[in-house]
Amino acid sequence: MFRQDFSNVQSDIKTEADHLFLVPVKSLKTAKSRLAEELDDQSRRNLVLEMATEVLKCLPKEQVALVCNDVELRDWSRDQGYPAILVDANNLNSTLYGASYFLENLGYLSLTVVHADLPIITQDAQSPDWLVCELDPGNPLSREKISRADFLNDYVCLVPDRFEDGTTVLQFPLNRGFKFHYGPRSFSKHLAEAKSLKLETFVVRGTPWSSDLDLPKDLDEFEMRKHS
């Protein structure tokens, strides 16, 4: 249901456009708690901000914003030169709902949610802006010959994590009532959500955007890649 009350949303974004990349970052107070046995609090905070910085740098700067429920993160994002959307909410899905309702009210057609914990992303990585269907030769959607407007309104694009459990990148139209299912098995749940809304889906695999960092074994792989 479209919500009119935005009292829990503070946004640096005030103007209308058709598409925006959203990078959600959870509160630094509880960041990467599953790595607590390997990293102390400050090291986990530094890791979260390091990964978020690289992801933000890979996205079109004029089309990206950080979304969070943490004033410290909002201020950090502004200091890095990126707009932020602060939502008074207590979990990731609720935070994203607040931001997406607000942006739909501004006139946005589509959002791409890109996780911030992608450790092998660097500025050399191909940006997922091909997901917005510019119809260039390298775009996996080019062969479909669909218009940008149709794509933004009628298609869902997903990048699953390496285990096809989580969803590291999710693009969806705002005017179709798409529900977030971040948490265990979010990839299959998001696919089912798109199907229930009769939205076309594209799944993109085999890119650096699939490699997130949640568990100690992911941290070991990250450190190996970092020093290779």
**Average pLDDT of the residues of the chain:** 84
Rounded-to-5 percentages of helix, strand, coil across the chain: 40, 20, 40
* Contact present, 186 and 2 (Cβ < 8 Å): no
Which of 171, 170, 173 is closest to 160 using CA atoms? 170
Q: What is the pTM of this model?
A: 0.87
pLDDT at 223 over 70: no
pLDDT in tens, 44-59: 899 899 999 989 998 8
- Per-residue model confidence as pLDDT tens digits over 148-193: 777 778 889 899 998 999 999 999 999 999 999 999 999 999 999 9
Write down all domains in the chain, each with its CATH number in brackets: 12-226 (3.90.550.10)
